[in-house]
Structure 1
Amino acid sequence: MKHVVAGLLCLSFAGASLAASPSCRYGVYGETGKPPVVISNPTGDGAQAPERYTFLDGRRGNVNAPNAPVRCEQGAVSVRQDDGHYATQPAWTLRETPTRFKSHGTELAGMLIEPAQSKGKQPLVVFVHGSEKTPAIGGYYPYMFAAQGLAVFAYDKRGTGGSGGDYTQSFELLADDAAAALQEARKLAAGRYSRAGFFGGSQGGWVAPRAAALAHADFVEVGFGLVMTPLEEDQQQAVVEMQEKGYDAAAIARVREVTDATGAVMASHFTAGYEQLAAVKRKFVSEPWLHTIEGEYTGELLAEDETDLRRTGAPRYDNLNIDWHYDAVAAIRALDIPQLWVLAGEDRDAPEALTRERLTGLKREGKPIDLYVYPHTDHGMYEFTQDADGTRHVTRITDGYFRLLADWIRQSDKPPYGTGERIP
C-alpha cells in the first residue's frame, strides 16, 4: 500500500537532521536583478544526502552533482553562467525568526521568514505540509515564496523535525495545527504584513481550506490537491490507470465495483465489507486487469488473504487517523475568501478531472475561486518524460508555477505563467 494518501513525496522535505552538516546555508542566493536560486534541505534519505537547488523557473537537482549548475563549496554558492564558468552568488539577507508554539498541548517548531527590506507591508503565507513525514523548515517552498518578496511561515508538522507529538493524517487535527501556526505567524509579524493566508500542497489541499475557516484567513491557495474524499482518490487513481492501459468504459465501470468493495473495508476500519470484497474478487477473477490495479490502496488489499486482512489490516493500512469520508466540498463551500487552485493535468497520484469538475461547479455557485491547470505535469507540478511502458521520469517543476503562486497572493496578475491555463 502507498504509505500516504495524496502523497506529497514529490514535495518531501528531508530535514537537516537527516544529513551531514550542510555545505551551504539554506536560503536564497543571487545577484540583484537576476533570477535567484534556493538552497534547501535534502530530499533523499541517509546521512550523506545532498542539499537541493531550485531555480525560480523550476529547474531542480542535487547540489554538487555531476554537471550540476549549482555548487556549494566552503559555504559559498556558485552558479554556472552561459559561458560555462561558475560565479559566486551572494546570500540574500532574510529575517528568520525561529519559534515554538502549541496546538492541543503539543509543541510545534516554526520559522518566520521575511524580506529584510521591503517597500510597505507584504502578504504573509503559512506553508501547509502534505503527507510527507519530513519537516518543512528548511524546505524549498518557503524560501521560494521568500525569494519573491513574501513573508512566509513554515512549521514542522507534529511528529516530524523539531515538533513534538505523533505523526498523523487526521485532517481536522492538522487543520487545527495550521490555524495555530497562522496565529503564531500573525503575532510574530505584527505590524509588518498586509493580508495572511495559507498555501497547501497535495494533502495540504484537504487541510488548508479547513484551517482557513478556523483562523479567519484572508486567502487560501492549493497546489495539486483534491476536492474529493480519500476513498474517491483511490477510485480515481484506479480509473486513470485503466484509461492509460486502453481499457474501455465497460471495463472501467467494473473496476469501480472493485474499488467500492475495497473502500467499504477501508472505511469500516477493517471491521466489515469482507463479503463484498470476496464477491467482486470471485466475479472478476478471470479479468486480466484485476491484479494490475494499484490505486492508493486497492491493489494491496486485493492481493491480501482475507484472514490476514481481518487480523492485521487495520494496524498496517489504517493507522493514520484518516477520515475516509472527509467532505472536501463542504470545507471549500464554507469559505467566502479568495482561493487559488493549481492542478497538474496528468496527475497520477491526485487525478484532476473530478476536482476540476467540482471546483468549476463551486465557481458557478459564486465562490471566489481561481483555477489553473498545467498540461503535461504530474503530481508536484513536475514535467516528465515517459517510456513506452508508462514509466515516468521527472525533469523539472513546470516553469511559471512559482510565479503564479506568489503573484496571486500579491493580487498581481502578470501572465503568462508558463503553460498554465486559466479555466474560466
Structure 2
Amino acid sequence: MKRYVAGLLVFSMAGIAFAAPATCDYGVYGESGKSLVVISNPTAGGASAPERYTFLDGHRGDVNGNDAPVRCEQGVVSVRQPDGRYLAQAKVALRETPTRFTSHGTELAGVLIEPAQFNGKPPLVVFVHGSEKTPGIGGYYPLVFAAEGLAVFAYDKRGTGASGGDYTQNFELLADDAAAALDQARKLAAGRYSRAGFFGGSQGGWVAPRAAALAHADYVAVGFGLVMTPLEEDQQQVVLEMREKGYDAAALAKAREVTDATGALMASHFTAGYDQLAAVKRKFANEAWLHTIEGEFTGELLAEPEADLRRTGAPRHDNLNLLWNYDATAAIRSLSVPQLWVLAGDDREAPGSVTRERLAALKHEGKPIDLYVFPHTDHGMYEFVQNPDGSRRVTRITDGYFRLLADWIRQQDTLPYGTGERIP
C-alpha cells in the first residue's frame, strides 16, 4: 500500500469531469429493504472536492457528477429511477453518539453509529483505517456497514480529522489505538450488541489482527490486506510488474537481488546498505528492466544518487515509523477467533499469491479462517478496464463484496456473493 497516497486506491481518472461540491448531510438515504445509497466525505481532492455516493452493490461516484445517478440540490438527495426521473430520498434514521477517547495520551475522536430501531442485538464492528489520511468519521465504509444493519464505531486515526497526535503508520501504535476504540465502543453500546470485532481494509489488515488480540475481539474481517512484511510487499509488487511485462524466471531472480538491496536500506532506516545497493546497480546497469522497476519504494531508491539518499533519504522515504519487518503471520497465528480475508484477484498494489499461501497454511494449522477471492478486481475490490498501455480505469467496487462482509459479521451465509469465490 503506497505510503504517500491518501486513500485506499489510486487509478487513472483522466477525462472525468469533477462535480461542484454538494451540500447534503453524510448518511444513508433511501427506503429500508430497497436500494440504499450512502453519501460520504470526499476520498481525495481536498475540501473543495464533491461528496461521494456509494450504492450497496458497489457503484460509486461523485454526487452531481456528469450523468451521475445521485444528485444533491438544496440539501435534498435524489436518485435516478429506471424511467430517468430523479426521486427524492429520505435520510435513514441512525443513532449517532459522538465521543472522544484516549490512547497513549492522545485524544482521538470517534462516533458510534447504530440502527435507530433494534431488531435483536446487531454485531458491533470497529472500522480500522488503511493508509489514508482522510478521516474515518464520515467515510463510506462505516456508513455502508450501518446501511447493512450493523452497529459501527468509526474514529479518526491519530493525526487526521478531529483526532490529536501525529499521523503515523506504526502498526503497533495503531493497533493500540484500535483496541482503545473497541473498548470505548463496547462501553457506549453496552447491552445493545451481540458480538464485537474489527474490519480493516488494505493497511488495516496489518493492524486489525494485532488489535483483536489486544482487545479480545470476537472476530476480525480484512479486505485486500496482506500476510507479509512491508519489505515483501515491495518485492512482490516488483515481481508482478516484471511478470506482466513478460520477463522470465532468470530476470525475476535478478530483480529479487535488487529488492533485497533496497529492502536492506529501508530496514536499516538508511543507516546501512548503501554498498549493497551500489553493487546491484552496477551489476545490472545494462539490464533494461532495472530502469522500469517501480514497486512500493524500490524504483524511487534506484532513481536517486547515493549522496542524496545518505543526506535526506530517511526523512523523505522512512518518515512514518513503519515496521518494515512486521511479522503479520505471527499476529494472525496468535488469534483463535474467526477471521475473514477477502482478496482482490488482480491486485497490483497488494499482490495476493503469497498471502493466499500463508492463509492456507494457517488454515491447515487449524486457524478458523474464511478466505474469499474476487477475480478481476484490483486493490480496494475495484473492477477495472485495462487500457492498451497497461494502465487501469476503475469502474466500480465489485458486487457482493459489501454484502459478504456484513453477512459474515452477522454469521450468515447467503451465497452467491457476486463473482466471489470461497477458497476451500
Query: Do they superpose with TM above 0.5?
Result: yes
Partners in 2 of 1:4 and 1:373 — Cα distance? 27
For 2:14, the equivalent position in structure 1 comes to none
Q: What TM-score do the two structures reach when normalised by structure 1?
A: 0.96
For 1:14, the equivalent position in structure 2 comes to none
Q: What TM-score do the two structures reach when normalised by structure 2?
A: 0.96
For 1:285, the equivalent position in structure 2 comes to 285
Post-superposition offset of 1:8: 2.4
Q: Deviations over 1:124-160 (max 9, x none)?
A: 0000000111111000000000001000000000000
2:215 paired with 1:211 = no
Partners in 2 of 1:313 and 1:284 — Cα distance? 22
Q: Deviations over 1:11-46 (max 9, x none)?
A: 9xxxxxxx9985111000112321200000112323
For 1:64, the equivalent position in structure 2 comes to 64
Q: Deviations over 1:81-106 (max 9, x none)?
A: 00000111111000011000000000
Contact 2:6–2:133 (CA under 8 A) maintained in structure 1: no
2:382 paired with 1:382 = yes
For 1:354, the equivalent position in structure 2 comes to 354
Post-superposition offset of 1:268: 0.4
Structure 1 letter corresponding to 2:409: I
Partners in 2 of 1:168 and 1:212 — Cα distance? 20
For 2:331, the equivalent position in structure 1 comes to 331
For 2:251, the equivalent position in structure 1 comes to 251
Contact 2:374–2:381 (CA under 8 A) maintained in structure 1: yes
Unaligned runs of 5+ in 2: 12-18
Partners in 1 of 2:48 and 2:209 — Cα distance? 37
- Mapping 1:1-400, distance limit 5 Å: 2-4=2-4, 8-9=8-9, 23-400=23-400
Post-superposition offset of 1:7: 6.7
Contact 1:7–1:132 (CA under 8 A) maintained in structure 2: yes
Compared with structure 1, are the counterparts of its residues 419 and 20 closer, same or farther at alpha carbon in structure 2 (3 Å cutoff)?
closer
Residue aligned with 1:108, SS: strand
Post-superposition offset of 1:68: 0.3
Structure 2 letter corresponding to 1:216: H
Structure 1 letter corresponding to 2:199: F
Compared with structure 1, are the counterparts of its residues 405 and 214 closer, same or farther at alpha carbon in structure 2 (3 Å cutoff)?
same
Compared with structure 1, are the counterparts of its residues 5 and 366 closer, same or farther at alpha carbon in structure 2 (3 Å cutoff)?
farther
Partners in 1 of 2:254 and 2:136 — Cα distance? 40
Partners in 2 of 1:151 and 1:334 — Cα distance? 26
Partners in 2 of 1:4 and 1:236 — Cα distance? 19
Residue aligned with 1:8, SS: coil
Structure 1 letter corresponding to 2:51: E
Structure 2 letter corresponding to 1:126: V
Structure 2 letter corresponding to 1:31: E
Identity of aligned residues (%): 80
Contact 1:5–1:203 (CA under 8 A) maintained in structure 2: no
Post-superposition offset of 1:389: 1.1
Contact 1:7–1:349 (CA under 8 A) maintained in structure 2: no
Unaligned runs of 5+ in 1: 12-18
Post-superposition offset of 1:118: 1.9
Partners in 1 of 2:164 and 2:396 — Cα distance? 33
Q: CA RMSD in A?
A: 1.6
Post-superposition offset of 1:5: 8.7
Contact 1:399–1:417 (CA under 8 A) maintained in structure 2: yes
Compared with structure 1, are the counterparts of its residues 6 and 28 closer, same or farther at alpha carbon in structure 2 (3 Å cutoff)?
closer
Residue aligned with 1:289, SS: helix
Post-superposition offset of 1:3: 3.3
Partners in 2 of 1:333 and 1:304 — Cα distance? 39
Contact 1:9–1:131 (CA under 8 A) maintained in structure 2: no
Partners in 1 of 2:6 and 2:167 — Cα distance? 16
Residue aligned with 1:320, SS: coil
